[in-house]
Chains A and B, each alone.
Chain A
Amino acid sequence: MSGDNTDILRLDEVGHHFGGLTVLRSVSFSVPENGIVGLIGPNGSGKTTLFNAISGFLHPRTGTIRYRGNALGSLSIQERSRRGMLRTFQTPKVFEHLTVLENIMTGCCKQTHTSIVQDMLHSRGSNRARLAIHDRSEVALAKFGFQSQRDTLAGNLTAGQRRILEIARAVVSSPKLLLLDEPSSGLNPDEIEHLRGWIVQLRQEGMSILLVSHDMELMTVTDLVHVLYFGEIIVSSDMDGIKNNARVREVYLGV
């Protein structure tokens, strides 16, 4: 594994077990700055655990995770997020009682600051902050094609729309590293095509992306794919290499 400084994320021998069940054993890989790296593997191979470890939802028992050169250690989830590392969830977690626009607005709340007192008094600073969040979110709303659902409660969206909304909410704050967990599941072919376009565009805007997906077509946007199998990376290659690799076909594609 090359340890050069252009990696935005680097995992070294990360391992984790729940009681007697080992879910990750010595996983090492990196996501280069401005790169798109894919992670595939059969169900139960440890992809979500790895995602949780990177985003801070669990702290791996062994190994180190470095983000922009610094070991993350036991840094909190919100602190990781504030440093520009944002994730989506396998089951989209939108705020169901908030409108689509409000959902996106929550994504950039952390980019301004107001005190509770300011907000209660409806001060000029409070208004300015809300307006800034609002304007920024309107742009993202248009970019992801939600204009007609602007004031719809997110709870009333389809599964595919929820997933896209979650992505919109994550990227509105212009993260540096985006962690996408199964972004295409539940999407129709049209939506997947859009998703693909957005991923390419986000990279052009300077983001680095780690993508977990079962969707082999979507995976073709990646530079490099790692295959996780029972908590270990068994193959790392570009998508063509993956498709033609006998071991991958055996354990994952089942052919």
Chain B
Amino acid sequence: MIRRLLPVLILLAIWVALPQFLPRNITDLLVFAGIYTIAGLGVSLLLGHCGIVNLAQAVFYGIGAYSTAYLTTEMNLSSIWGFVVGAVLSMATAFIIGWPVLRLTGYFLALATLALSIIGNALFYQWDWLTQGTLGIGGIPKLHLFTYALDTPNRFYYFVWALAFAGIVMSRNLTDSRTGLMLRAMRDSSEAAVSLGIDLQWLRTRVFVLSALLGSLAGNLFAHYSSFVSVQSFTVEKSFSFLLISVLGGVRAPWGAAVGAIFITVVPEYLSRLGDIHQMLFGLALVLIVVFLPYGLAGIVDLVKSRFAKSVGADHVR
């Protein structure tokens, strides 16, 4: 028990201590990493459990962000309404679109979600009475936890990562549960799963709705943290970033999204100190990870474990 808890406790201590040592700009990046972890977790759930490539997460992220932005500035409502309305709208959108679209499989489904992302971005742009288009909505108030203002990167860091960790734990619970079992079965053989009475489309739709909820939550947090949102934050590229987080981190481990998110936010920052070549280096790093780590960065742990087990076994034989 203690042996299992020890790594968790060490990580927890590092997590608590980090902002005290890091420069402010890196803490700031880690806040974004936390926000992206939440959105990436949604993409990972779909990819890891259902084998669905979701390229529409930026739409749900946008729905969350604009809900917060519009309701707290234009309507002067408390921030809780942003979370509630964002959640309801994103889940309803995911349900209405998911039900027909999730009948598709493979590339067709990925293309359908890509189309959704393009349409979503076009609507954010067109509906400038709501979104202010490229001008954006500024002056979004800071988030308050009861009376405690999350008005510094450090404070927001603790809050957003607490949510991200909760999301990771819940995602892990799901994998081990009855629903997780059905999802894993479905991924292995959809024909066999359906013959056992498992309703694939309903199951996939529910995971899609859940994924959208996570996207929206990340959007709410983003709007509060940056206090300004504009249509540039919800482009198709953002959807690709969320997919990248989930692929780089690895969908097999529930904490893969966190690793992926930290990688795509922090690594470019450090690489940029090397000058103009940094973008090429980042691209190269991505290619190397995808080629050599098919299970993502989280797969390194399994790799090390199996190497270690092998060498221990070899010693034993000797």
Please give the residue numbers on chain A whose beta carbons come within 8 Å of chain B beta carbons, in ascending order.
Answer: 55, 57, 77-79, 81-82, 86-87, 89, 93-98, 102-103, 105-107, 109-110, 112, 114, 116, 119-122, 126, 129-130, 133, 166, 169-170, 173
B174 CB, nearest partner CB in chain A, Å: 5
Offer 5 A-B interface pairs, CB within 8 angstroms, sorted by A.
Answer: A77-B195, A106-B193, A109-B197, A119-B174, A120-B170
A96 CB, nearest partner CB in chain B, Å: 6
- Interface residues of A, dominant DSSP: helix
A107 to B194, CA, bound (A): 11
- Interface positions, chain B 179-211, Cβ under 8 Å from A, are 179-182, 184-185, 187-189, 191-200, 206-207, 210
Interface centre among B174, B180, B188, B196 (most CB of A within 10 A): B196
A171 CB, nearest partner CB in chain B, Å: 11
Known A-B contacts: A89-B195, A112-B178. Give 11 more (CB < 8 A): A77-B194, A78-B199, A81-B196, A87-B195, A98-B181, A106-B185, A109-B178, A110-B197, A120-B170, A122-B173, A169-B196
A95 to B40, CA, bound (A): 27
Contact B179 A116 (CB under 8 A): yes
Contact A98 B173 (CB under 8 A): no
Q: In the complex, which residues of chain B have a beta carbon less than 8 angstroms from the beta carbon of A93?
A: 189, 191-192, 195
Q: 6 closest A-B pairs (Cβ-Cβ)?
A: A119-B177, A81-B197, A93-B192, A95-B188, A120-B170, A110-B197
Q: In the complex, which residues of chain B have a beta carbon less than 8 angstroms from the beta carbon of A105?
A: 181
A66 CB, nearest partner CB in chain B, Å: 20
Contact B196 A120 (CB under 8 A): no
Contact A122 B177 (CB under 8 A): yes
Q: How many A-B residue pairs have CB under 8 A?
A: 102
A95 to B197, CA, bound (A): 15
A3 to B176, CA, bound (A): 47
A120 to B171, CA, bound (A): 6
Contact B191 A129 (CB under 8 A): no
Contact B196 A110 (CB under 8 A): yes
Q: In the complex, which residues of chain B have a beta carbon less than 8 angstroms from the beta carbon of A169?
A: 196
Contact A120 B173 (CB under 8 A): yes
Q: In the complex, which residues of chain A have a beta carbon less than 8 angstroms from the beta carbon of B199?
A: 78
A243 to B207, CA, bound (A): 54
A247 CB, nearest partner CB in chain B, Å: 34
Given contacts A97-B184, A114-B179, contact A120 B174 (CB under 8 A): yes
B91 CB, nearest partner CB in chain A, Å: 12
Q: In the complex, which residues of chain A have a beta carbon less than 8 angstroms from the beta carbon of B184?
A: 95, 97-98, 102
A169 to B174, CA, bound (A): 22
Q: In the complex, which residues of chain A have a beta carbon less than 8 angstroms from the beta carbon of B195?
A: 55, 77-78, 81, 86-87, 89, 93
A173 to B197, CA, bound (A): 10
Q: In the complex, which residues of chain B have a beta carbon less than 8 angstroms from the beta carbon of A87?
A: 195
A129 to B210, CA, bound (A): 21
Q: In the complex, which residues of chain B have a beta carbon less than 8 angstroms from the beta carbon of A94?
A: 189, 192
Contact A129 B171 (CB under 8 A): no
Which single residue of chain A is at the shortest CB-CB distance from B189?
Answer: A93
Contact B171 A119 (CB under 8 A): no
A122 to B206, CA, bound (A): 17
- Interface positions, chain B 147-193, Cβ under 8 Å from A, are 170-171, 173-174, 176-182, 184-185, 187-189, 191-193
Question: Which of A57, A78, A96, A97 sits near B197, CB closer than 8 Å?
Answer: A78
B311 CB, nearest partner CB in chain A, Å: 24
A177 CB, nearest partner CB in chain B, Å: 13
A94 to B194, CA, bound (A): 12
Contact A96 B188 (CB under 8 A): yes
A211 to B83, CA, bound (A): 56
Interface centre among A57, A77, A82, A102 (most CB of B within 10 A): A77
A89 to B195, CA, bound (A): 10
A197 to B96, CA, bound (A): 50
A45 to B184, CA, bound (A): 35
Q: In the complex, which residues of chain B have a beta carbon less than 8 angstroms from the beta carbon of A102?
A: 181, 184
Q: In the complex, which residues of chain A have a beta carbon less than 8 angstroms from the beta carbon of B185?
A: 95, 98, 103, 106, 109
Which single residue of chain A is at the shortest CB-CB distance from B167?
Answer: A120
Given contacts A98-B188, A116-B207, contact A86 B196 (CB under 8 A): yes
Interface centre among B173, B187, B200 (most CB of A within 10 A): B173
A82 to B184, CA, bound (A): 20
A164 to B98, CA, bound (A): 37
Contact A121 B178 (CB under 8 A): no
A110 to B207, CA, bound (A): 17
A6 CB, nearest partner CB in chain B, Å: 25
B167 CB, nearest partner CB in chain A, Å: 9
Contact A95 B178 (CB under 8 A): no
A122 to B197, CA, bound (A): 24
Q: In the complex, which residues of chain A have a beta carbon less than 8 angstroms from the beta carbon of B177?
A: 114, 119-120, 122, 126, 130
A110 to B178, CA, bound (A): 9
Contact B192 A95 (CB under 8 A): yes
Q: In the complex, which residues of chain B have a beta carbon less than 8 angstroms from the beta carbon of A57?
A: 191
